[in-house]
Structure 1
Amino acid sequence: MRDLRKVARKALSLAAAAGLATTVVSGAALAVDRVSAVHAFPEFLVYTKTFLAMVDDINARGEGIVEIQVRGGPEAIGMFQQPQAVRDGVVDMVHTPGSFYGASVPEIDAMVAARVTPMEARANGGAALMDQVHQSRFNVKHLGWIDGGVQFHIYSTQEFKFGDDGVIDLTGVKLRDNPIYHAFFEALNATTASMKATEVYSALEKGVVDAAAWTSIGILDLKWDKFLKYRIDPKFYNTDIGVIFNKDSWESLSPESQKLIQDVVAEWEQKSYDARQQDIAKDAEELQKRGMQFVSMTPEASEIYVTKANDAAWGRMKGRLEEMGGMENYDKLRKLYYKE
């Protein structure tokens, strides 16, 4: 009888231990922070590939701590609606150009017209100030500037025309527009049509537009080189692609999750910057092999052209800040991002 009682007590102890273990495991599973995310561009573009690789890095290093679940790209939420979606908490995290919500956060134009790298902006306090204004204006944290060091060109189906000052004259040119460079195109007298990147191929094919601005890389992925045969130099502006995170969602994460995500994003600023410099050289070589002509303006005209671009971006920011408030940040941002 005594032996039976011992067996019974042992069985109860084992059952209790198993229950405790189950509770601990279950608790640990519940403790993993789940993060929802979307990206602005289709998966085949290099910028999205960077983001997805960065997410994989976070998930691998954050196993048991945090997991980012990517819901998709513009097919899930329209690319121009994504910034509002993360602001309002529909999703936790978005990978998107800052210019898509520049009317709400005018300070993003400092990245557009920057003369510093993402790493320099992080080191000199520019990234911290950019994060601060995002939190106060848009209810999001700005975690990092990804795929920096990539600039824009205007590409055309037709030969470029030039004004008396040697700068390209876009009068009468039907140019695909985008919030990042709209102010500049207005200054060049272009006739613009705003559309998503996914709509441009068809627009070029049908003659709805005969020119488009895009970065030094990606034209081949988009297959726009089938129509675009001329590229104008010099380059202007910078990609302002960032990772933004709903502020309330961020504050609900564990400190461990926050540190891991922020550290990995900062690391990918350098990784993606280095990788894109190699892509720029490769794409330029391939475009020329396929017959695209790279047209250069004179040094004097190039200076006018780039100055006009930068003045348009800084002028747009200044005008918005004068209306919305926050002019105290204008000089700070110029010092941190423009290095005059």
Structure 2
Amino acid sequence: MKLLRTAALAAITSLCATTVSQAQELRLLSSWDPSYAAVGNVLVPFMEKLESETTGDLSLDMVGPETIPPFEQLDPVSRGLFDMLYTNGAYHFNDIAVGMSLDAMTGNTEALREAGVWQAVDKHYQDMGLKLIAVLFDLNGYHIMLKEPVGDNALEGRRIRGTPIYHPVIEALGGSPVVLPGGEIYPSLERGVVDGAAWPTVGAVAFKWYEVADYLMRPTFGQVSHMVLMNLDTWNSLDEQTRSEIETAAASFELEANKLFDDLAAKERETLESEGMEVTELSQEMADKISEAWFKGALDLAASKNPEAIEEIRGLASEAGVGG
């Protein structure tokens, strides 16, 4: 009997040890706090999907930009201080500009995977010690919020807030770009330091910019990529089945994310219009200009950092018709 109890105890101990060894607690660093709808309404459901659709004991814990500022997050994740990163490629342009190219594309991630663009971006991030897990696209893209409606000459003579990726569009419309962090947009619009601000179509409500801007410029341009990256050593430490389950869940959720962002963008516009904002339309001639300016400008800027990689991606996108 004693031998049986000892054997049973050994088996239980072995089972517990196996369970512990299979447990994976991953720390995810986000470039945005929960006030940005793409965190609570998109990232959190994605994390839950990864946890529920992996057979191993996977647990994800999120921390935000209060831990590490958004533009400084790539290095600590690539060095393994955090396991995962939720960000936009433009935020780490000085380290690698390849992710920025995703915002210049057209079509969902299914189209980008078929074109080989997704895989090319993944390959270049792996050279940085990171694995691309998912690209959660807001296909509604970017827009410009204005204090006054567009004129006959579009934005000629106006000062428009925009980080460098926006500059080709602002300049194509005759405006002058002004680089300001997001936290300075409200007071700058309020005081007339700028006449408008470029931003994704989701986000203005949380910052109450409708109080200091009255118009939404249309059409929108580009699309907003929210990248989910994993430290490459962390990725390689996962067993083959878990990696396969993550890839399957991520590919599925990429398409779900499009619908989530569509719903957020529709709700956002409804709220902005209820707060008094109106749509102001560009002429067809100017509308045609911004699509070309965005695609070429974003890729040219990225190419100034990673010329060979962007040449490869530009070629894949053009051949498959997923460029601007």
User: What TM-score, normalized to structure 2?
Assistant: 0.89
Describe how 1:278-289 pairs up with structure 2 within 5 A. Answer: 278-289=263-274
Alignment of 1:239 onto 2:224: yes
Shift of 1:58: 1.4
Alignment of 1:95 onto 2:82: no
Q: Distance in 2 between matches of 1:327 and 1:43?
A: 36
Aligned to 1:312, which of 285, 288, 297? 297
Shift of 1:272: 0.9
Q: Distance in 2 between matches of 1:251 and 1:267?
A: 22
Encode CA deviations 1:228-264: one digit per residue, 9 max, x unaligned.
2111111112102111111122111111221222222
Aligned twin of 2:141: 151
Shift of 1:329: 4.3
Shift of 1:63: 5.8
- Residues 12-21 or 230-239, more deviating: 12-21
Aligned twin of 1:7: none
- Residues 38-47 or 96-105, more deviating: 96-105
Encode CA deviations 1:273-311: one digit per residue, 9 max, x unaligned.
012223323322332222102100111121123222222
Aligned to 1:124, which of 115, 120, 131? 115
Aligned to 1:51, which of 39, 43, 47? 43
Encode CA deviations 1:85-106: one digit per residue, 9 max, x unaligned.
2122221110101111234333
Aligned twin of 2:54: 62
Q: Distance in 2 between matches of 1:204 and 1:168?
A: 15
Structure with the greater alpha carbon radius of gyration = 1
Shift of 1:28: 1.4
Shift of 1:271: 0.6
Shift of 1:151: 0.7
Shift of 1:186: 5.3
* Count of aligned pairs between the two proteins: 322
1:303 to 1:311, Cα distance in 2 relative to 1, 3 A: same
- Alignment-mate amino acid for residue 307 of structure 1: E
Encode CA deviations 1:189-246: one digit per residue, 9 max, x unaligned.
4241331x34534544555544221222221122221212111111112102111111
Aligned twin of 1:334: 318
Encode CA deviations 1:156-203: one digit per residue, 9 max, x unaligned.
23444452xxx322x351x333354245445554241331x3453454
User: What TM-score, normalized to structure 1?
Assistant: 0.85
Q: Distance in 2 between matches of 1:43 and 1:336?
A: 36
Encode CA deviations 1:15-46: one digit per residue, 9 max, x unaligned.
34213312321231122122111111111322
Give the superposed CA RMSD: 2.5
Q: Distance in 1 between matches of 2:58 and 2:232?
A: 17
Paired residues of 2:29 and 2:86 also in contact (CA < 8 A) = yes
1:193 to 1:339, Cα distance in 2 relative to 1, 3 A: closer
- Alignment-mate amino acid for residue 237 of structure 2: S
Q: Distance in 1 between matches of 2:64 and 2:53?
A: 24
Paired residues of 1:143 and 1:245 also in contact (CA < 8 A) = yes
- Residues 281-290 or 201-210, more deviating: 201-210
Q: Which consecutive residues of structure 2, in runs of 5 or more, have no partner in the other structure?
A: none
Aligned twin of 2:68: 77
Aligned twin of 2:155: 168
Q: Which consecutive residues of structure 1, in runs of 5 or more, have no partner in the other structure?
A: 1-9
Aligned twin of 1:3: none
Q: Distance in 2 between matches of 1:147 and 1:329?
A: 18
- Alignment-mate amino acid for residue 132 of structure 2: H
Which SS does the other structure have where 2:70 is aligned? coil
Paired residues of 1:216 and 1:280 also in contact (CA < 8 A) = yes
Paired residues of 2:105 and 2:317 also in contact (CA < 8 A) = no
Paired residues of 1:157 and 1:229 also in contact (CA < 8 A) = yes
Q: Distance in 1 between matches of 2:144 and 2:155?
A: 10
Paired residues of 2:115 and 2:316 also in contact (CA < 8 A) = no
- Alignment-mate amino acid for residue 18 of structure 1: L
- Alignment-mate amino acid for residue 224 of structure 1: W
1:337 to 1:130, Cα distance in 2 relative to 1, 3 A: farther
Aligned twin of 1:5: none
Describe how 1:128-277 pairs up with structure 2 within 5 A. Answer: 128-136=119-127, 138-163=128-153, 167-169=154-156, 171-173=157-159, 175-185=160-170, 188-195=174-181, 197-205=182-190, 208-277=193-262
- Alignment-mate amino acid for residue 145 of structure 1: V
Shift of 1:332: 2.2
- Alignment-mate amino acid for residue 90 of structure 2: S
1:208 to 1:257, Cα distance in 2 relative to 1, 3 A: farther
